[in-house]
Every structure is written in structure tokens, then in C-alpha cells.
Structure 1
């Protein structure tokens, strides 16, 4: 789930906004949130690819984008 989530966030923000950034690179030792809030630990856990510009699944958002409905009049 977290790998797809990170791919989806990076895909959408890189393509439809001004880019993306990770909130923190490293947090203090002993925190229970280390794998989720530390970029380096997220990398170790496999949530991000070694090259941050590469996605594991570039089509991660395709099922939702293809099935959206317009609310425009």
C-alpha cells in the first residue's frame, strides 16, 4: 500500500502541481513513526525507489483517472 501511495503522490504532484518534496529526511531515533516520516528509512523499507524521479508503478493512478466523472456543466 505505502509503495503505491508514494508513487501516486509523486505522480500527481510532479505532473499537475509544482512538484513534490518529502517532509523530513531524518527524524530522531526511537520514534515509532520512523518508517513513515524519515525519507532515508522509507527508502530502506522500499516505499521509494533509489532514484526519487522513478516510480515503481508509473500507471498507479490510471484506474482512477480513467474512471473520474466530470461535474462541469
Structure 2
């Protein structure tokens, strides 16, 4: 099956790539990661931030659920 070998691979490498996916600035992405809010990892102490787009989409969905939990249907 094509691509199965990399099914769990990080498809967003670098703060700029993550920022483009989220529609935010690279600075904001780094800040969110530093604060522990962004589901991304850093490769080494000074390496690039890396994330999976599927993980970021789930993170956004969970945030949307939390935001709408207090609203009436």
C-alpha cells in the first residue's frame, strides 16, 4: 500500500509549515509550543518543530467542542 510506511510520519516540519497550516504566524506557533499548548514536538534541543496535520485537526476539533460545551443547542 503506497504511503503506509509513512502513515504516522510528521508531515509538517518547521514552525513556518505548522503556521501555514494553522493560519497563524511562526512566532505564535513557537509561543504556543513553548507554553505547552500546541501538540508538536521539537527534534533535539534546537531542532525544528514537527507536527502531524491529523493531530492538529483533532486538537482543533477538541478545542471547538470545549468552546461550544457551554452554549445552548
The alignment's TM-score, normalised by the length of structure 1, stands at 0.24
The alignment's TM-score, normalised by the length of structure 2, stands at 0.24
Which of the two has greater strand per residue?
2
Which of the two has greater helix per residue?
2
